[in-house]
Amino acid sequence: MKTPDSDQLAQFIDAAALLLNLPIEPAWKDAVKGHLEATLRLAASFAEFPLPDEAEPAPVFVA
């Protein structure tokens, strides 16, 4: 999984905010970017983990 640089991530956030109709004030942007960056970094740790096509997701989890 490729990690976007800071400018690319800022552009992504602007576009996603538009799409989702989410108001983001300029003062909040850095914090949002920091959180998204951290989340994508964590997601990268399992994004390439090999699983078969048949692997069932667990959206409603059963213990």
Q: Which residues bind other proteins (CB under 8 A)?
A: 12-13, 16-17, 20-25, 28, 31-36, 38-40, 42-43, 45-47, 49, 51, 55-63
Residue 34 beta carbon to other proteins: minimum distance, rounded to whole angstroms = 8
In angstroms, rounded to a whole number, what is the distance separating the alpha carbons of residues 40 and 28?
A: 18
- 17, HSE (Cβ side, Cα atoms, 13 Å): 16
Phi-psi region of 15 (alpha: psi -120 to 50; beta: other; left: phi over 0): alpha
